[in-house]
Structure 1
Amino acid sequence: MRKRELVGRRGLLCDTCMNWPANVLATLDGATAPAPAGAEQLPPECDCGAVLVPVRTDYGRWVYLTREDHPAEPVRGEYWRVVPHPVHHQVAVRVFEPRPGEPLRTRHESVCPAAAPGPAG
């Protein structure tokens, strides 16, 4: 049986034990981007015109993040830090209590003008 490790956490888990918490975390965090098919495939484009580049999370799922770091604000609720990783080049780690002004990223969907709900009626 193959074992996998949660990045930045201690312990090895089998695929079954790894997939359940990873799927729950992905649902809660909004990390629902599909894994990239390969380097030859162009990344998808959002309705707003932005190129969507998925970033691997520390629990093996994928999330579309903004392309650049921005200072954390107390109003916005979800932040991600992109950190180097020896195997996966980089991974996104969810940040729950950022320091004010800390350079972090947010999910593209949370700042996308095309994803904003229209007026009711």
Structure 2
Amino acid sequence: MNPIKEFEQYLVENGIAPKTIESYVGDVKGFCTFLQGMGVEQPTDLKRFYVSSFKNYLTENKYALATINKNINSVQAFNLFLIDRKLATEQVVTLRKDRITVAAGSEGERGGCTF
């Protein structure tokens, strides 16, 4: 069975909401496509460098902060699944380190001049 299908089944077994599963699986598929572009053949071969590179890729391509953080959450869930299934030993995604924080007070700012 492929790791993404196993991940999806794992989420179902853990009672995760269908929309969340759809979101996580879609994000992880995008991450795996990114990894393939880097020459990584096994998505189970997670490395810290890959997560950082993916985050940089999303940032450089002007993805919204919320989208980037959602992707990081999904990749972290995948990382924890891999550890749970003994397909990986190391947690390479930590939300504290990998999520992008928005400066307090700047969430609603739109920029522009106010004279």
TM-score, structure 2 normalization: 0.30
Structure with the higher strand share, 1 or 2: 1
Structure with the higher helix share, 1 or 2: 2
Highest relative contact order (Cα 8 Å, sep 6+), 1 or 2?
Answer: 2
